[in-house]
Homo-oligomer: A and B are copies of this chain.
């Protein structure tokens, strides 16, 4: 399975009890894979996507570039001649895994009936998937942003199955500020009249709400200097002095940064489900490695056999480098906090693929 890769597959994993209560009666996990699993089932690598990410890490045999294009492939840093690479769509997502837009047992989409899920619930579902695939242990579990939260939870929930773990542009627990920005995004969707409490699948989708959520999020994904240098106060329609004054939208006046954010919103709305956005955002709000496990140090001790690499983007102002440092300091053993040098902000973990590759090549994928 998956030698060439880049094709969406799915596996049924049955009923899944949930951390906060309730059960999903029948769960499908969608994934892509590249390379070939060895007989021992231990040459596998799990790559975890971010909030609105998909399973499409690498183009493989598909026509479309992946979100970490170049990192996975024959002779790449994550060499598919050696490794069997998996990327699963998170529980609650809209890229093939069971989520709010999936059809429930009564033949209708879950919508508002989709339960609250946590990062740990998704890892549990991913663990079932990996068993079905025949993976006995991961050479490495790697993730950025929310993917980093899932990678970390893998090392804590299944330390015997995770030999190495990379947590990139992420943290040990979502902070008050991250929760605050997340709340604004969730409210933006819930307040859209087309949201209808989540049961909008037979009508218009809450695209204006989802678009606003994306705008808010995207600002936090970029650094202030990056936006300043790229857009500054330039107007979209360069019509002289008056264009430097913001005109009312009906007159068409707009700053370039506004047009850029409109474009980001438009792109997401065309590819993502609003309920999935809420479900995954709330799962991320719940992220806390120490929940129910004592202090953070106590919670992380279980992963003393795991080799960690923790990396932050130096200009990240959503997942501050200090949060990576705090995680690294609390992890057992010697953990290096690596820095991804980028002026872009949080999104640097996606745009600086080569830097991420260099860090992985020098740590979890160095020649043995």
Cβ–Cβ < 8 Å partners of A175 in chain B: 224, 227-228, 232-233
Q: Give Cα A247–Cα B227 distance, bound, in whole angstroms.
A: 35
Report which of B177, B179, B215, B227 forms a contact with A177, defined as CB distance below 8 A.
B227
Contact status of A255 and B224, CB under 8 A, knowing A209-B191, A286-B246: no
Interface size class of A (residues with CB under 8 A): 35 or more
Q: Give Cα A184–Cα B286 distance, bound, in whole angstroms.
A: 25
Contacts A21-B242, A118-B245, A179-B233 given; 12 further ones with Cβ under 8 A?
A20-B245, A116-B247, A173-B233, A175-B232, A176-B233, A179-B258, A180-B258, A184-B212, A193-B193, A241-B292, A244-B292, A248-B282
Q: Give Cα A230–Cα B209 distance, bound, in whole angstroms.
A: 29
A184, A231, A291 — most chain B CB neighbours (10 Å):
A184
A12 at the interface (CB under 8 A from B): no
Report which of B116, B173, B212, B320 forms a contact with A187, defined as CB distance below 8 A.
B212
Interface residues of A (CB under 8 A from B): 19-21, 115-116, 118, 173-177, 179-181, 183-184, 187-188, 191-193, 208-209, 212, 215-216, 219, 224, 227-228, 230-233, 241-242, 244-248, 251, 255-258, 261, 282, 285-286, 288, 291-292, 317, 320
Cβ–Cβ < 8 Å partners of A116 in chain B: 245-248, 251
A296: shortest Cβ distance to chain B, in Å? 11
| A-B residue pairs, 6 tightest by C-beta | A176-B227, A176-B257, A176-B231, A177-B224, A193-B193, A246-B285
Cβ–Cβ < 8 Å partners of A251 in chain B: 116
Copies per complex? 2
In the complex, the answer to whether A184 meets B219 with C-beta atoms within 8 Å is yes
In the complex, the answer to whether A191 meets B176 with C-beta atoms within 8 Å is no
Cβ–Cβ < 8 Å partners of A184 in chain B: 212, 215-216, 219, 261
User: Smallest CB-CB separation from A190: which chain B residue?
Assistant: B249
* CB-defined A-B contacts under 8 Å, sample of 19: A20-B245, A116-B245, A174-B233, A176-B231, A176-B256, A177-B227, A179-B255, A179-B258, A180-B215, A184-B212, A187-B212, A191-B192, A191-B208, A191-B209, A191-B212, A216-B216, A241-B292, A245-B291, A246-B285
